[in-house]
A and B are shown apart, each in its own frame.
Chain A
Amino acid sequence: MKELLTDHKISSLKTYFTSYRHAVWIGYVMIAVALIVLPFLVESTIGRTWVRILDFALIYGMLALGLNIVVGFAGLLDLGYIAFYAVGAYTWALLASPQFGLHLPFWVIIPIGFVVAGFFGVLLGAPTLRLRGDYLAIVTLGFGEIIRIFLNNLDHPVNVTNGPVGINLIDPISIGSVDFTKTQEIFGLIFSGAHIYYYVLLLLLLVSILVCIRLENSRLGRAWVAIREDEIAAQAMGINTRNVKLLAFAMGASFGGIAGGLFASFQGFVSPESFILLESIMVLCMVVLGGMGNVWGVVLGTFILAILPEVLRDISSPLQENILGKVWLDPESLRMVLFGLALIVVMLVRPTGLWPSKKNN
């Protein structure tokens, strides 16, 4: 009788665990379906512009994940991160546009962008190895500006970047004759360019998330944590702090480079204007607001900060009309005020971010 009971217990435990695993799988499938259906819903309810906004949120997601490697994992404050986004974008623009008459396919440009941006990451990392905190922040800020000014002025003596005018007619991602920025009809369903890019970007963001989670729990991830906590002690543990820091810069930059390339191909146009300091700060805000060091927190922070300003843009006029009877404040400036206010409130209520990493408490 006793044995029977234990047998029974074990089998009920087994069914409990298998049903639990099933529930997790059902959850994954539901999330996947929701993510696939989302652009259809958005497009049919609030319009195609919002699919584009989603696309940008996904691009920013990749950027923020890259910056999170540098700032969140390794604790190196980088205020010029957008430079790598610029490097990636211009790499794509120069290799696939009428500028030089080059039209390389995307599967060649993506790895090139990855390597070139990573190289620029090392270029920034190498001279700043001994710097930390605010000193590092100042140098990285300068680096970001240098890259932007270079792009702005490299139209003479030899025209490379077209200067402030920027580069136009950049090739989109295409497979065979299928252009990803053009509307396609598949099985009777209409997919706009923004809609197709949504899937491409979603896939890449998911890969980025996976890579970041693996990195965080790797030997390299632990070395980054050690450097962030105490650099001298990290060295005393036998961590080659030079290589590990350079790797943080290079990997962070590579994420930015890929995001930049996709941005260029999606927009079809790049100019130095897209890579100003405010953009670096915006990406940093996404990381900090979401929760530095926590991959899911960073993704959450990105979506909130990428979408919130657009929501505020849409509601700030009707809101004033309803409450005050008339539009008193320019919606464009009001939305930035509200945006700033939202940031301050979040940081007061949750100083370590909305979804902080366990280790940052």
Chain B
Amino acid sequence: MTLLKVTDFRVAYGGIKAVKGVNLEILRGEIVALIGSNGAGKTTLLKAICGLLRFEGQMTFAGVDAKRKRSDQLVKLGLSLVPEGRGVFGRLTVSENLMMGAFLIKDKTSIKNDIDRIYQMFPRLAERKNQIAGTLSGGEQQMLAIGRAMMARPKMLLLDEPSMGLAPMMVEKIFHVIDEISNSNVTILLVEQNANLALNFAARAYVMDSGRITLDGPSFELKTDSSVRRAYLGG
């Protein structure tokens, strides 16, 4: 069943066209990767899907026409973004950050249960719950950003470069948790520059180049595709 579908999706910054007619279709429960080099328009596409930028074209999410919906309405529908560069609230504590993630949820006891669940997922965050988020390491901040997005109880999680600037060990840990999240019936759209990592993790992928989707298909096929190998996998 389709969860997110965008058709002829176009985004422009003033006169500069960053996304030039993209089609995506993501099914419930899938893990899909979106790979591409710097400046391909991946982050722009993600931001527009989340309602942070205006776009032309069509978009439906969870069976609802999502065009012209504000970001807060989309969060309510179950679309959560883990922004590029984590975007944790640097001067708030870890637990305050998590509370902020539950901004649209009113029931206090269920928020408390959700926080406990996040702490189980990331024991490191539980150890540091009263620490100021700005003083966490990069990996811990990424954990916090993911945990915070999960507090909104999303149907679908959009992750923008979760591996950026992290040590390989930490990347492994983060992806392990993303896998766990996927097992709990949350659909994942993963934007990555690290194509190797993304193609090994996701079942299916889209390749984006200069604002267009140039290729898409199961990861194992893309991994052997000669143009993908040349451009993104180093030979």
Q: Is B92 an interface residue (CB 8 A)?
A: yes
B89 and A236 form a contact (CB under 8 A): no
Q: Which residues of chain B come closer than 8 Å to A223, judged between CB atoms?
A: 103
Let me know if B76 is at the binding interface, CB within 8 A: yes
Once A225-B89, A230-B89 are accepted as A-B contacts, the answer to whether A236 and B149 lie under 8 Å apart by CB is yes
B117 at interface (Cβ–Cβ under 8 A)? no
Q: Verify if A222 is at the interface (C-beta below 8 Å from B).
A: yes
Q: Is B121 an interface residue (CB 8 A)?
A: no
- Residues of A with C-beta under 8 A to B91: 229, 359-361
Digitize A299-316: 1 where CB-to-B-CB distance is under 8 Å, 0 elsewhere. 000000000000000000
- A236-B75, A238-B103, A240-B70 are known contacts. Are A229 and B52 too (CB-CB below 8 A)? no
Q: Which residue of B lies closest to A233 (CB)?
A: B87
Q: Is A235 an interface residue (CB 8 A)?
A: yes
B216 at the interface (CB under 8 A from A): no
In contact, B83 and A226 (Cβ under 8 angstroms): no
Interface of A, secondary structure class, is: helix
Q: For the complex, give the distance between the alpha carbons of A222 and B149 in Å.
A: 16
A232 at the interface (CB under 8 A from B): yes
Report the bound CA distance from A242 to B70 in whole Å. 10
Contacts A232-B52, A232-B83, A232-B87; A237 near B92 (Cβ below 8 A): no
Tell whether B100 is near chain A: CB-to-CB under 8 Å: yes
Instruction: Please tell me if the beta carbons of B80 and A236 are within 8 angstroms of each other in the complex.
Output: yes
A239 within 8 A of B: yes
The 17 listed contacts between A and B (C-beta, < 8 Å) are A222-B99, A225-B92, A226-B89, A229-B90, A232-B83, A235-B72, A236-B71, A236-B75, A236-B149, A237-B103, A238-B75, A238-B104, A238-B152, A239-B72, A240-B70, A240-B72, A359-B91
Cross-chain contact B75 with A237 (CB below 8 angstroms)? yes
**B97-115 Cβ-contact flags toward A at 8 Å (1 or 0):** 0011101100000000000
5 additional A-B residue pairs with CB within 8 Å, beyond A232-B47, A237-B103: A230-B90, A233-B87, A235-B50, A236-B50, A236-B80
Whether B83 contacts A233 by the Cβ 8 Å rule is yes
Return the 8 tightest CB-CB contacts between A and B, nearest first. A238-B75, A233-B87, A229-B89, A236-B81, A238-B104, A235-B71, A240-B72, A238-B72
Q: 1/0 per position for A235-264, CB-CB distance to B under 8 A?
A: 111111110000000000000000000000
Query: Is B88 engaged at the interface, CB distance under 8 Å to the other chain?
Result: yes
Q: Which residues of B contact A219 (CB under 8 A)?
A: 103
B92 touches A359 (CB 8 A): yes
User: Which listed residue, B47, B51, B90, B152, touches A237 by the CB 8 Å rule?
Assistant: B152
Tell me how far the C-beta of B118 lies from the nearest C-beta in chain A, rounded to whole angstroms: 14
Chain A CB within 8 A of B5 CB: no
Instruction: Verify A222–B103 contact, CB threshold 8 A.
Output: yes
Residue of A nearest to B99 (CB): A222
Interface residue B148 (Cβ < 8 Å from any Cβ of A): yes
Nearest chain B CB to A218's CB is how many angstroms away? Answer: 12
* Chain B minimum-CB-distance residue to A235: B71
Question: What is the chain A residue whose CB lies nearest that of B90?
Answer: A229
Whether B52 and A235, one on each chain, are in contact in the complex, defined by CB atoms closer than 8 angstroms, is: yes
Report the bound CA distance from A223 to B89 in whole Å.
11
Q: Considering only CB atoms, which chain A residue lies closest to B76 in the complex?
A: A238
CA distance A241 to B70 in the complex (A): 10
Q: Mark A209-238 against chain B: 1 for CB-CB distance below 8 A, else 0.
A: 000000000010011011001101101111
Q: How far is the CA of A230 from the CA of B89 in the complex (A)?
A: 6
Q: List A121-172 residues whose CB lies under 8 Å from chain B.
A: none
User: Contact partner of B71 among A222, A226, A238, CB < 8 A?
Assistant: A238
> Contacts of A237 on B, CB cut-off 8 Å?
75, 100-101, 103-104, 148, 152
Residue on A nearest B77 in the bound complex, by CB: A238
* Bound CA span A149–B51, Å: 39
Q: What's the minimum C-beta distance from B12 to chain A, rounded to whole angstroms?
A: 16
B106, closest chain A residue (CB): A219
Closest residue of chain A to B134 (Cβ to Cβ) is A229
Which residues of chain A have C-beta atoms less than 8 A from B81's C-beta? Answer: 236
Q: How far is the CB of A37 from chain B (nearest CB, A)?
A: 40
Contact across chains for B83 and A236 when beta carbons are under 8 A apart: yes
Given the complex, which residues of B lie within 8 Å of A238, measured CB to CB? 71-72, 75-76, 103-104, 152
Cα–Cα distance between A238 and B100 once the two chains are bound (Å): 9
Residues of A with C-beta under 8 A to B82: 236
The residue of chain B having its C-beta at the shortest distance from the C-beta of A238 within the complex is B75
Q: Which residues in window 319-361 of A have CB below 8 A to B?
A: 359-361
Residues on A with C-beta less than 8 A from B75 are: 236-238
Which chain B residues border A239 with CB–CB below 8 Å? 72, 103
Q: Least Cβ distance of A4 to chain B in Å?
A: 38
Q: Which residues of B contact A240 (CB under 8 A)?
A: 70, 72
Per-residue CB proximity of B51-76 to A under 8 Å, as 1/0? 11000000000000000001110011
Bound form: Cα–Cα A361–B90 in Å: 11
B173 to chain A, nearest CB (A): 22
Complexed CA–CA distance, A347 and B228 (Å):
56
Chain B residues whose C-beta falls within 8 Å of the C-beta of A359 in the assembled complex = 91-92
Min Cβ gap B72→A in Å is 4
The residue from B51, B100, B152 contacting A226, defined by CB atoms under 8 A apart: B100
* Residues of chain B within 8 A of A361, CB atoms compared: 91
Please tell me which one of the listed residues A229, A236, A241 contacts residue B92 in the complex, with CB atoms under 8 A apart. Answer: A229
What is the bound-complex CA distance between A232 and B152, given in angstroms?
A: 16
Residues of B99-152 whose CB lies within 8 A of A: 99-101, 103-104, 148-149, 152
